Structure 1
């Protein structure tokens, strides 16, 4: 609770600070003030406070004035977000859950017109996890070199910030995609973002996992291309179409198998590889061993009050058990759509910023959005024939439908309610099907 109060008080202060630390103004029909905030002096040089559409920015200038040296600028932008969730299961005996899903603190910035850096640390659930820690060097937007820990440039839903998600939980394609990886990437935006590209050499990470360090002596290679044909043509909306791939050798061990189980939206394990207990040995543990390939195709389109996103991922996972090797083909896809109910508000890939933030005195209520999604996860039957997974405990297929409503109080506060129903094939004793999961989930989010 103190952490929740701390976040709420931080948001309040971001909107009510005196002029020397201005918050980014909410978008309203009233014209923005023309006077600049008071500068902050560092080494007797004037500071520049920049404002961006995503939240308040603290800027610091470091200026050298000897001879004809050009000014050198350092910009720092702190931030973070909190997500407090509840989960209720309609038809089974699973307990009602309350959890602090994410509590993340970030610091990003630019230095000397050449460097960019980003750190993101998650402290939720009594854990300290470094999500991002990278530096990028780039003279021009068209080409940059990024080194460190970052999201793998692969899944379009994974590449969305967790604070910008339309639904509380990501869909199944994300579960067979890499999460965070460590490596070196060449990337850039051509013609103002008309084309985005990334090619990378990384350590290689298991599906839906965050890499903490090198687990074998092999590398993985990633490539991603995203084309936005209407870039700069706002009247046609925001369309993006892309594809991505990863390929490379992987080698797991009993301690670090290199393969991960699959979970439902309610965080129940619905598919598990053999092994995983303290008593298991290499003879009883399924591990990744061989060349792994992933392919993804995705697109989104946002225009006016509506938006849509579609994604398909195929994962070819090399798994070894008792000396036998099996290449498992795992597939997942989703289609999602959303619509803003409040006039003037527009869904985007980065969420909604209400045109009329919540204000009791002004009788404005923020923005409301409804959304629906359907997705499937299809697992390889060969995993059961080879003993890699237990058919009495692991499903062969999952089909999930989700509906939700989102209430954006302002750019900082969001409330979400989702219902997700998931139907399974297999996953029960005697060839039966795992019972349908009916989940009602809620989320309170505060982001600055």
Structure 2
């Protein structure tokens, strides 16, 4: 990656020093640390939670907005910034993949670090995701780098001879979880719930072993006195299986000296399903996800599902998007733009996609009640803007707001319509009288 060659410091760290409690040392000795490794993604509940959050964030575009006392909130078109954030953050991945990867790292490791590459004018060229496990955060309390208490990010490039790169806080987008002791480093859910996730993993392994060893269903236990040779045992098992698998008989002929008993394997007796489901709900709740997310519909209905979807947005996704909004605004925008009231925000209407009929009814009511402009409604439907479509209209007869204020009741049709309307303020009454 040539763009990092001009960084401040480089250092060969092949001869690394480990502490006794360093996870790296434990890994070298073959000892699993307290944290959960990447292979634990195989736990289905944990994976489902990560996938749901990653997909929910990556599907939402990020737009530039401005807020002022006259016009309120207004979207600003910035083609370069829009291309970086929503199309191609860097030459190796699309925006959807990029933000999905960012959210995955944030949830799995508790932190995600993105390097912002700019040109000499301050324009953004690329966004690069750094390997979270190889980034450390320094606070320069002594002012060794010229600024006291400044934050610095040190990245060890393990793919480039272990070189070390130093970044200032303004060059790094630091996305973290809401759980943090110092406000700088976020905590990963997998580290907090390591026992619950491991328990869930062991439960899946237990089920897999039952399937593998064919232990589901009733088994026949043959009890006899004495000792049978290997050949006799194989013959007994073979003949027993022959009659058990036969559909034409319900009887099992056995010698008089052998007693047959039924061995049942029921998970319900051990309350395995109850314990497993409870543990799964705890993991989902730690991520802020509802039971429907992990396919638990035991106490669900249509109304309850809609309520859970709304609750997911309000209580789970909304705080995450607010974190992205604040970090993106403070690190990606120039100081003068921030002082002018500009900010970056996710477009959340993608979450509440409606069916065509409901969407049309929703937009029609918005236009008729002078809440949104016709062009705004057309944009929601995927249509191009129409001439004279940036005026608020409504009051039942599609009267423009300007005419309502001035006392007029009739409006001229827009240029893109073919309706011949001859009723003006004066001429309309004369034509009606002549008729």
Compute the TM-score of the two structures, normalised by the length of structure 1: 0.21
Question: Which protein has the larger Cα radius of gyration, Structure 1 or Structure 2?
Answer: 2
Structure holding more strand per residue: 1
Compute the TM-score of the two structures, normalised by the length of structure 2: 0.21
> Relative contact order (C-alpha < 8 Å, sep 6+): which is higher?
2
